[in-house]
Amino acid sequence: MFPEDTDPVGDMQCVFAVKSSIPFLVESRKFPFSFSEHMYFTDKAVGEYINVPSYLKKDYEYSIFLKRMQVSEMGDLSVFKITSDEYPEMEIFRELIRIPSVAIDYKYIEGGYHKTVFTFHHTHAMEVSRFIFNARKALGNGIPEYFGSNRGLNYTLEKASKAERLVSGVVSVKPPVSDSDQMKALFATRWIRRLRYTTWENSNDFLYRVDDSAKLSGEIFKSVSEKEKIYTATTASKISVFYSKMLSEHYNPMFYQYHEFDGTLLRICGIISESYGRTFLGIVSDTVKNFPKYDIRVAYLSPIHPRYELINPAIGK
Amino acid sequence: MDLNDVDRALDMRIIYSLTGNLPVAEFTKRISINLQSGLHFGEKSLEISFFIPEELASNREISIFLAQSNATKEGNVYFSNFGMATEDLYNGLKEVVDGSKTTILDNMYLSKGTYYLSCRFHSSDLYTVTKNVLKYSRLMEGLSVQYLGPNPGLNTILEDVKKVTRLKQIKWEAKLPDYAKKSFPFSALPDQWVFESRYMTTGEGVSEIVKTNEKIRNAEENGFKETVPGLNLYEFKFGLKEPFLKGFFSYLYDKKMIRFCRIFGYDNGALHISSLVPEVLVDNYMASMSKIADEFPDWQVSLTEVFDAV
């Protein structure tokens, strides 16, 4: 059900790897599997939730590390948070999301390295290179493990399913007719869009490929490539403000968001860790209650494997 | 024009072997191992660097060697660097790589006490190369030839390297500002050409084989030595004349960067730079690239491709 071709916008992909400076994670290379991490941006800080399998509590170094971290339990996962208050060098990632076509696909920790998988449009290759050079200065190291044509969502899913069990979810929303100019401009044509990164502020940055660019009006869409009908737009609505607030209260359950508007219905597709499944349904149900006019429905929810082999023996039991 | 243009232009391969009282050699013979290494020519000095895979470090002799040589560890590979002091050895190896101007030193490795140097060259230099083997033998006791014959292609040559380390293909480009396009040496060259660095040395020292799509006008006056008449193959030292490349080569030399297939191409105003870099050294390579990008902001340095070479 999750669309096969979900990377219609950024034709390039980069995997940027940085050696961890977080004590437990430096040692984590002894574990033969990866952990997922979710980065988010607020006006005040850059933060990250790191998901570690719960059974690792038995590990001596991890248990020492846990003592000074606030850890929350989410199904099979122990989740802890790091922010730029403690690790100011994380702020450099703001430079990455300032590049208009960049969308963060996935972040994970493997072999003691933080790896950021992101896509972008080829016209921004130089800006991305510049980010890599600057990030190396801020972080003390960092290499592009991969830089080239976008290998698509399948690549990301293959990586992500090595860290945890995954679920894909689709929520359909029927936006009510709005008087606001911004909403009118936004829904004037069919489009697909990628959420570029997770933020807890009241607006979201998207990368669009629109169906009919002649129908675009107003200031909302900024062009990346007129020829390929690729645009960026920052949007804010009551529903997204509510949704962001819920995310900030319940961690970030969805790491890859792809939206499709067919002229009537908006479909929000995303990938969730199975451990976050209940939280996600809770958020949808609260949103439904608060926005009855939007006709919100869970259209699809299904595990993503067994297409991808799980290598962590402790998950999936 | 790409890698194949240079690779196929050099149709011969020679593998030299070198034994004797050489650094590190003795202990690799005793415990029977192979090490990938790199040779760096300074103005008067010679340095050699080694990769040692982590799984070998449990061997007592190797762990002592790693401690004594101040080896650094990156990922699952140790990296150590040595000076090779003897004058005879410096002169001898310099002759090996510089005796014929079409020679490119592709790879060097140490196997069970013997160093192997794998080079490509053009068949028109065959007489010079074989004649020089005798000359080298007088300078270096223990020098011999293990293979002399057709070039099997860089892919085959690199198979030896890939047995020891994973390689990243790193490709990037620099768009020349107008003033650079109009100045020497770019102004003297045609619109398309490709060159390969012959061996690893200082910024000024790097000697390149340049293959152009057409004959260079006034080549001799401009310092391009035609090495194989009719093939548009020239020898030139970019580092002597051109600040961007000189800077980049110097930074690589400072880091004792080992890399393979050291190719630069030029196509209508943009330099396309490509190297195969051992995974353990990618961070050092990026440091050199980042430094040159900072120093020459108007050259618009940008990555174009990075992937695992398989």
CB pairs under 8 A between A and B: 48
pLDDT (0 to 100) of residue B176: 95
**Count of all residues that appear for chain A in the document:** 317
How many Å apart are CA B54 and CA A121, to the nearest integer? 39
pLDDT (0 to 100) of residue A215: 83
End-to-end CA distance of chain B: 22
Nearest CA to A132 among A123, A143, A122? A143
Distance from CA of A102 to the nearest CA of B (A): 16
Do A126 and B301 lie within an 8 Å CB cutoff? yes
- Range picked from A32-41, A86-95, A213-222 for highest mean pLDDT: A86-95
Locate the DSSP E strands across chain B: 12-18, 34-41, 46-53, 72-74, 77-83, 104-111, 114-121, 143-150, 167-175, 192-197, 200-201, 208-212, 225-228, 233-236, 260-267, 270-278, 302-309
pLDDT (0 to 100) of residue B5: 65
Please state the rounded mean pLDDT for residues A24-41.
84
Nearest CA to A260 among A207, A193, A215? A193
Select from B124, B144, B162 the last residue of a domain: B162
How many Å apart are CA A45 and CA A90, to the nearest integer? 9
How many Å apart are CA A122 and CA B304, to the nearest integer? 9
Note whether residue B141 is domain-resident: yes
Select from B141, B162, B183 the last residue of a domain: B162
Asked if B157 and B216 sit in the same domain, the reply is: no
Asked if B78 and B199 sit in the same domain, the reply is: no
Q: Please indicate if any CB of chain B lies within 8 Å of the CB of A137.
A: yes
Asked if B148 and B204 sit in the same domain, the reply is: no
Do B306 and A148 lie within an 8 Å CB cutoff? yes
Note whether residue B199 is domain-resident: yes
Q: Considering chain A, what is the average pLDDT of its residues?
A: 85
Asked if B282 and B245 sit in the same domain, the reply is: yes
> What range defines the domain where residue B107 resides?
6-162
Q: With H, G, I as helix, E, B as strand and everything else as coil, classify residue A31.
A: coil
Note whether residue B193 is domain-resident: yes
pLDDT digits (tens, 9 = 90+) for A154-207: 888 888 888 888 888 888 988 877 777 878 888 889 999 999 998 888 788 999
Asked if B130 and B33 sit in the same domain, the reply is: yes
DSSP A141: -
Angle value at C-alpha A185, between A2 and A94, nearest 5 degrees: 65
Do B305 and A137 lie within an 8 Å CB cutoff? no
Asked if B113 and B227 sit in the same domain, the reply is: no
B285 to chain A: nearest residue by CA? A143
Note whether residue B135 is domain-resident: yes
Specify the pTM: 0.89
Q: Above 80 in pLDDT, residue A311?
A: no
**Count of all residues that appear for chain B in the document:** 310
Note whether residue B128 is domain-resident: yes
How many Å apart are CA A280 and CA A274, to the nearest integer? 10
Q: Please indicate if any CB of chain A lies within 8 Å of the CB of B45.
A: no
B282 vs A contacts (CB less than 8 Å): 143
- The neighbouring-strand residues paired with B253 are none
pLDDT (0 to 100) of residue A139: 94
Asked if B233 and B212 sit in the same domain, the reply is: yes
Asked if B191 and B156 sit in the same domain, the reply is: no
R_g over Cα of chain B: 19
Do A143 and B290 lie within an 8 Å CB cutoff? no
Q: What is B240-251 written as a DSSP string?
A: HH-HHHHHHHHH
Q: Please indicate if any CB of chain A lies within 8 Å of the CB of B77.
A: no
Note whether residue B223 is domain-resident: yes
Asked if B158 and B171 sit in the same domain, the reply is: no
Helix axes B282-295, A125-139, angle to 10 degrees: 110
B293 vs A contacts (CB less than 8 Å): 129-130, 133
Distance from CA of A129 to the nearest CA of B (A): 5
Note whether residue B1 is domain-resident: no
Select from B162, B193, B228 the last residue of a domain: B162
Note whether residue B15 is domain-resident: yes
Asked if B219 and B71 sit in the same domain, the reply is: no
Across the interface, of A125, A143, A145, the residue whose CB is closest to B302 is A125
A111 vs B contacts (CB less than 8 Å): 75
Token pair 């259209």 is found at: A299
How many Å apart are CA B195 and CA B212, to the nearest integer? 8
Please state the rounded mean pLDDT for residues B239-266.
87
Distance from CA of B231 to the nearest CA of A (A): 34
pLDDT digits (tens, 9 = 90+) for A48-60: 999 888 888 888 8
Asked if B298 and B221 sit in the same domain, the reply is: yes
Q: Above 90 in pLDDT, residue A148?
A: yes
Best of A130, A131, A141 to disrupt the B interface (most B CBs within 10 Å) is A130
Structural domains counted in chain B: 2
pLDDT digits (tens, 9 = 90+) for B42-51: 877 788 888 7
Asked if B89 and B115 sit in the same domain, the reply is: yes
Q: Above 50 in pLDDT, residue A313?
A: no
